[in-house]
């Protein structure tokens, strides 16, 4: 069964609801987490504070915001909520505004939700399934789409990566403010590209936060992140590539080709 579907209850799905602004949209998603017993109001406030502190980096794809905060005692169990807005709401993102879908994550620990995030990244990045989700009329229809299977796509392998002075296995960091939300989305999308290239045995992708990224940069080839987080990181001694759509395999493909001159 889909891991994603197991973390999202029907009662945590709200379709075509009104929100006057981005904060209200996040609070609606947080309220669903509260009502389903996943988290307490303090976690909803933490999601709001996260955006106030770090900017709209949670808008990781056109029209899609992934609200989250760090694991805390305010989280009772790992779960998701799903809010489709009746009218698009601007979050302040330079390329991905306005937002029509807000998915909120409350994670009990750093690893409990990894497979669900991989599935969600694939769903949001699939135009056919995303269109079906946009048109779904009921919560059960949303869950049915999320439980659907995808046909694998075979692609030719690329040549083995070669970076001057590099080691046998290269490290790429995906970075966000908390190291467990949007950075995981980016990690999962990049790993899809690596799988298609047959490079998974050559490149390790690690999702991390801004503080840890500065310390790990010396061992990495590249950092992938949002514009807001890139400005926070500053100069870390390796290339920092800003990604606009965290679910776009084509954008991540282009970033890899630029790094490795493929």
Q: Which residues are catalytic?
A: 68
How far is it, in rounded angstroms, from Cα 164 to Cα 175? 24
Are the CB atoms for 3 and 111 separated by under 8 Å?
A: no
**ω before 98 within 30° of 0 (cis)?**
yes
At 145, give phi and psi (nearest 5°): -65, -40
How far is it, in rounded angstroms, from Cα 41 to Cα 4? 23
Beta bridge partners of 17: 85
Helix (H) / strand (E) containing 4: helix 3-7
Q: Which two tokens stand for residue 12?
A: 């945590």
Give the C-alpha distances (Å, rounded to integers) separating 259 from 170, 172, 240, 262. 12, 11, 10, 8
Are the CB atoms for 180 and 69 separated by under 8 Å?
A: no
Find the angle CA(11)-CA(185)-CA(30) to the nearest 5 degrees.
30
Helix (H) / strand (E) containing 153: none
Beta bridge partners of 102: 65, 83
């Amino acid at each position: 069964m889909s891991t994603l579907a197991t973390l999202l209850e029907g009662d945590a799905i709200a379709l075509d609801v009104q929100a006057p602004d981005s904060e209200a949209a996040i609070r609606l998603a947080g309220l669903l987490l509260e009502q389903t017993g996943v988290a307490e109001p303090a976690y909803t406030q933490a999601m709001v504070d996260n955006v106030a502190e770090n900017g709209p980096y949670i808008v990781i794809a056109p029209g899609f915001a992934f609200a989250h905060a760090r694991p805390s005692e305010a989280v009772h169990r790992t779960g998701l909520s799903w809010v489709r807005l009746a009218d698009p709401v601007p979050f302040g993102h330079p390329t991905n505004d306005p937002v029509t879908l807000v998915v909120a994550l409350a994670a009990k620990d750093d690893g409990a939700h990894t497979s669900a995030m991989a599935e969600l990244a694939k769903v949001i990045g699939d135009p056919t399934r995303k269109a079906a989700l946009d048109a779904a009329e009921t919560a059960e229809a949303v869950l049915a789409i999320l439980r659907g299977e995808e046909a694998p796509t075979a692609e030719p392998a690329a040549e083995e990566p070669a970076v001057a002075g590099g080691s046998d296995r290269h490290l790429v960091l995906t970075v966000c403010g908390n190291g467990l939300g949007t950075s995981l989305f980016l990690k999962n999308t990049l790993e899809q590209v690596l799988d298609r290239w047959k490079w998974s045995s050559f490149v390790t992708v690690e999702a991390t936060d801004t503080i840890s990224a500065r310390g790990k940069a010396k061992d990495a080839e590249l950092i992938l992140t949002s514009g807001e987080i890139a400005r926070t990181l500053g100069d870390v001694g390796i290339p920092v590539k800003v990604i606009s759509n965290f679910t776009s395999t084509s954008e991540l493909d282009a970033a890899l080709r630029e790094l490795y001159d493929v």
